[in-house]
Amino acid sequence: MSNVQVLPLLEPEAAVAPCCPPLTERPFSAEEAEVAARMFKALGDPVRLRLFSAVASHEGGEACVCDISDVGVSQPTVSHHLKKLKDAGLLTSERRGTWVYYRVEPSVLAAMGQLLSTAAGP
């Protein structure tokens, strides 16, 4: 049983900087690939991508679950995917009264954008 749950807490500063250089700069090391693949994987599901996009594009940068849960799957599945996005560090959640609001972790888009930035920019 290799079900070790060692989740290294993502410190805010650690989450921002050390993700990775652009994919085109040099071959990724195993560690870099592990970290970056986790983000890509989290967005590698259509339902999660729609949820993420719905939150990211929602006004104010945050969205209540009730506003984004219309993606064609059951409510527990939505909750499951939101949890995955949260575990991957892409979203944060906060309960305010009856509803739970999700919000995009700002550093994430920057990190992934840097990953895909070509060395030869415009």
Partner DNA sequence: CGTCTATGTTGACACACATCGAACCAAGCG
Partner DNA sequence: CGCTTGGTTCGATGTGTGTCAACATAGACG
Query: Which residue has tokens 């999700």?
Result: 102
User: Which residues, at least 6 apart from 101, have a Cβ–Cβ distance to it below 8 Å?
Assistant: 62, 63, 64, 65, 93, 94, 95
If binding is defined by CB under 8 A, does position 15 make contact with a copy of itself? no
**Binders of a copy of itself in range 57-76 (CB under 8 A):** 57-58, 68, 71-72
Q: Count the residues of the shown chain that bind a copy of itself, applying the rule CB under 8 A.
A: 41
If binding is defined by CB under 7 A, does position 64 make contact with DNA? yes
Structure tokens at 60: 């104010």
Work out which of 18, 77, 79, 110 binds a copy of itself, going by CB under 8 A. Answer: 110
Q: Where are the beta strands (DSSP E) in the chain?
A: 62-64, 91-96, 99-104
Work out which of 24, 29, 53, 79 binds DNA, going by CB under 7 A. Answer: 79
Cα dist from 82 to 16, 18, 49, 76, 102, whole Å: 21, 24, 10, 10, 8
If binding is defined by CB under 7 A, does position 81 make contact with DNA? yes
Note the residues at the interface with a copy of itself (CB under 8 A).
23-30, 33-34, 36-37, 40-50, 52-54, 56-58, 68, 71-72, 104, 109-110, 112-113, 116-118, 122
